[in-house]
Amino acid sequence: MKNISHNTFEKSLMQNLCRYIEAHSDEVLTLEQLAKQTHLSPAHLQRRFKAAIGVSPKEYADSCRLKKLKTGLRHNADASVTNAIYDAGFASSSRVYERVDSHLGMTPKQYRAQGKDVVISYAASKTSLGYVLMGATDRGLCFIQFGDSKKELVAQLAAEYTQASIELMGKTHKEQFTAWMQALSDYLQGHVATLDLPLDIRGTAFQLKVWKYLQTIPAGSVASYTEVAHAIGNPKAVRAVASACAHNRIAIAIPCHRVIRGNGELAGYRWGPERKRALLDLERKTKS
């Protein structure tokens, strides 16, 4: 009972600190300042906060600023993008463009324009696992998916990025797309065990954390949803991990096919359990 009471108190303490960070996210918040709020040492606070919340105090403060920036960009059309950045508590506009655009899924200006300035080029090809479509921005691949027809895959790409300009790959990018398709073909033929491609990854902070971890799982190996949740420091987020896998838009390069149930069953896969089994069998054969 004493341990349960202590855990409840500490969780409440960290949640109260979250409310404090949210209320002061437009200020410079150091770990030392936050430690004083909880009467803990900075090092102890860092460990306990991450254990309870799943991210560091700094990462949580950044997410609060990002949320405030999104609100400012959406609802205050008269204010400049620069003013919205500073009002959200970011120290400089350059740092936002360097570090935060992956969380917005685009630059702040593009976010305000609802992605209308984002151009996604695509190309499709037939593979041993059916048709595959690759979509890319000028930052890298944002979409690799399997399907039964090109038409179906183009429709999925448009549905994922409703405000972006979707266009068929032109001559300018033909050489690059050809190289990417060849890399995928080499992987599916068992010539290479991993698919190393430039990616433009877009998702929530939690999804990005899951997807980043998935990329560390060796080819031919698997991890359970529970193991992934523990590995990212959020052991209770098993369902959220499964959801992040289900929302992955970049097949193979972000290898959600390497995540299975704790009892060894394959579990679901966005592109079908047959493809999941085929990918795992292929990687194990290539690895051996």
Can you name the residues that pair with 143 across neighbouring β-strands?
A: 135
d(CA 66, CA 28): 14
64 is catalytic: no
d(CA 233, CA 51): 6
d(CA 276, CA 255): 10
Residue 122: phi and psi, rounded to 5, are -140, 160
Cβ-in-10-Å burial (0-12, 13-18, 19+) of 91 comes to exposed
d(CA 187, CA 193): 6
What are the contacts of 282-285 at 24+ separation with CB within 8 A?
282/188, 282/190, 283/193, 283/219, 283/220, 283/258, 284/220, 285/190
- 119-127 and 130-137 beta bridge pairing: antiparallel
Catalytic residue among 64, 142, 245, 256: 256
d(CA 253, CA 249): 10
DSSP 15-28: HHHHHHHHHTTTS-
Tokens coding 138 = 């000028």
Give the active site residues: 256
